[in-house]
């Protein structure tokens, strides 16, 4: 046989090999008509260890270059609090960023799309001009599951409009101590109310027709994968200290703190986020009994469990002091995807090394990756991996703002209305001659929204997003002949200097998030008490408390004619005014 013939045969064999390789890579997992678990099984069989570990890795967007995404086969990217494409990024710039990252993931050997996640915990709160809904503590007051479902749907639509398919929400903690800095993330101290309001999941993900029996469910391109958090018992820590130990018996653990997770699984929640806190001394990120045996076993949860931000580091004290142990303990306990925003190379290399040493069985890796792929298939990410630019105008839409105003109105709590022996003062007449509006929170969108808004710890002022302050709402509601005067910090002689018909004082807590919000005294910060004193001593006054939890108000109650708990109402202060005025 001639050399030319041999070369021709070799070329034919090479082409056949390439064709067979392409067929193997296409396979069942590319076919949306195939059952999800068959697609998972097919794709998992094509993956090597490095690709599997990459799927278990979630990194911060600041590190998500095309090279990193492709070299480490990264399974997920997130925005931490305040992490945006740029300052005041437009919706289109969000979509451009996410789609650019997705293109890099799709160019890998198997083309597995990454899933981008973000904390959309009271609307799409990282994004400029998005609708910011009241915090959970206020929504719990509404006792309205249908309203929560509508808020979930609106939030999902705004998140999807920025190209993001995964929201770290809802928080279904049961806050048992208001000193806890995350109490505003809880719907109630009553687990039955928290259970009712898991209806928000049907808004976020879409409503499954039957009990999902643990299968993740996301219905289409306008819905997002959700994440019930923080599993479990985070609202019951000793003294309300964030990330602390929850000392609890089985009755309270399973009857109270676990209750809403049962509802979440029945509704097809896609993911669960582990808590930084401990149960009876065992860190949740290393709690195999609760992560695997109970949640995946008894409850039958088939989505994936994700760590919190650098959550596995905190298994040891001090944090990150024995990282190899933390990787081993968390993965073997049942964590499937690990949020390693910055330290991803150490995690990636460390997990591969532990698998090769048989410290973590390959079966555990395959289980974790199967769960991650199951969620990606369930949400249609393989068929529709890129953000849809046609949804851009949904962010901050008037329809969503009207919904937020409805939620504000339903979340208000009237604590006092009239001094003993006097007639009720609320609602105030719209045609009053002069109303003085005072206090640090009357004209401050940032204070209305609280933490986890634009920045992790929240912001102050009115120049970072769209919305209406409480002052704006009052001005828009009163009669055009009524004079509204705003004094942020009136002096102690202000009320005696000029006649006013009514005073409206708006004071409360300044923004905080997580541990920064822990408080052992629950007092209103200065100058709030002084403003109440200065306005209310000679004028009929309404005091509105803007806070993430109950705060100490008893010392001032006798001076106040009417008292309203407004919680953290979000961007739509207009929703409050109609409740104070006829």
SS3 146: helix
Which residues does residue 305 pair with via DSSP β-bridges, in sequence order? 272
Asked about 308 being catalytic, the answer comes back as yes
d(CA 525, CA 142): 27
Tell me which residue of 282, 292, 289 sits closest to 247, measured CA to CA: 282
Asked about 349 being catalytic, the answer comes back as no
d(CA 5, CA 82): 64
Helices (H), 230-361: 250-252, 259-266, 288, 323-333, 344-356
Q: Give me the catalytic one of 514, 518, 561, 572.
A: 514
Q: Who's near 510: CB < 8 A, 6+ residues apart?
A: 440, 447, 458, 460, 525
Measured CA to CA in angstroms, residue 133 lies from 121, 137, 154, 182, 505 at distances of 9, 11, 10, 17, 22
Angle at 227 (CA atoms; ends 551, 211), nearest 5 degrees: 115
d(CA 318, CA 492): 49
SS3 413: strand
Q: Give me the catalytic one of 308, 367, 394, 572.
A: 308
Measured CA to CA in angstroms, residue 229 lies from 121, 169, 259, 270, 555 at distances of 11, 7, 12, 12, 36
Hey, what are 511's tokens? 């923004």
Measured over the CA atoms of residue 556, residue 562, residue 564 and residue 570, the dihedral's sign is negative
Which residues does residue 507 pair with via DSSP β-bridges, in sequence order? 545
Catalytic residues: 308, 514
């Amino acid at each position: 046989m001639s050399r030319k013939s041999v070369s021709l045969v070799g070329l034919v064999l090479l082409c056949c090999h390439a064709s067979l390789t392409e067929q193997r890579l296409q396979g069942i997992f590319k076919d949306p008509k195939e059952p999800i678990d068959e697609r998972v099984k097919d794709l998992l069989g094509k993956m090597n260890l490095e690709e599997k570990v990459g799927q278990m890795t979630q990194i911060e967007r600041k590190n998500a270059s095309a090279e990193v995404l492709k070299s480490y086969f990264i399974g997920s990217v997130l925005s931490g609090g305040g992490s945006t494409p740029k300052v005041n990024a437009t919706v289109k710039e969000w979509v451009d960023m996410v789609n650019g990252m997705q293109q890099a993931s799709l160019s890998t050997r198997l083309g597995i799309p990454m899933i981008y996640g973000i904390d959309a915990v009271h609307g799409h709160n990282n994004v400029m001009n998005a609708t910011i809904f009241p915090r959970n503590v206020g929504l719990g007051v509404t006792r309205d599951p249908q309203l929560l479902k509508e808020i979930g749907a609106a939030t999902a639509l705004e998140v999807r409009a920025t190209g993001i398919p995964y929201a770290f929400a809802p928080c279904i903690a049961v806050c048992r101590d208001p000193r806890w800095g995350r109490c505003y993330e809880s719907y109630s101290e009553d687990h039955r109310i928290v259970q009712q309001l898991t209806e928000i999941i049907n808004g976020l993900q879409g409503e499954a027709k039957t009990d999902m029996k643990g299968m993740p469910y996301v219905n289409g391109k306008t819905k997002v994968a959700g994440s019930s958090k923080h599993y479990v018992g985070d609202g019951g820590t000793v003294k309300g200290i964030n990330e602390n130990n929850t000392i609890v018996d089985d009755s309270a653990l399973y009857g109270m703190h676990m209750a809403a997770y049962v509802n979440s699984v029945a509704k097809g929640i896609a993911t669960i986020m582990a808590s930084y806190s401990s149960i009876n001394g065992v860190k949740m990120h290393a709690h195999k009994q609760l992560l695997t045996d109970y949640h995946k076993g008894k409850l039958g949860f088939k989505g994936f469990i994700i760590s919190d931000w650098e959550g596995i580091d905190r298994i040891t004290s001090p944090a990150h002091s024995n990282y190899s142990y933390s990787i081993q303990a968390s993965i073997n306990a049942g964590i499937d995807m690990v949020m390693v925003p910055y330290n991803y190379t150490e995690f990636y290399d460390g997990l591969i090394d532990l698998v090769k040493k048989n410290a973590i069985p390959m079966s555990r890796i395959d289980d974790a990756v199967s769960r991650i792929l199951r969620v990606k298939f369930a949400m249609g990410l393989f068929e529709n991996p890129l953000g849809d630019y046609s949804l851009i105008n949904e962010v901050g839409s008037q329809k969503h703002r009207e919904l937020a105003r409805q939620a504000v109105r339903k979340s208000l709590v009237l604590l006092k209305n009239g001094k003993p022996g006097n007639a009720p003062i609320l609602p105030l007449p719209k045609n009053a001659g002069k109303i003085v509006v005072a206090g640090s929170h009357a004209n401050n969108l940032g204070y209305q929204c609280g933490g986890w808004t634009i920045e992790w710890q929240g912001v102050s002022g009115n120049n970072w997003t769209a919305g209406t302050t409480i002052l704006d709402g009052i001005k828009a509601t009163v009669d055009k002949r009524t004079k509204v005067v705003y004094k942020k910090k009136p002096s102690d002689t202000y009320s005696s200097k000029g006649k006013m018909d009514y005073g409206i004082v708006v004071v409360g807590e300044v923004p905080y998030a997580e541990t920064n919000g822990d408080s052992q005294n629950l007092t209103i910060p200065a100058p709030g008490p002084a403003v109440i004193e200065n306005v209310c001593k000679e004028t009929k006054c309404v005091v509105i408390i803007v806070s993430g939890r109950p705060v100490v108000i008893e010392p001032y109650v006798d001076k106040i004619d009417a008292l309203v708990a407004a919680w953290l109402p979000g961007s739509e202060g207009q929703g409050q005014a109609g409740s104070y005025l006829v």
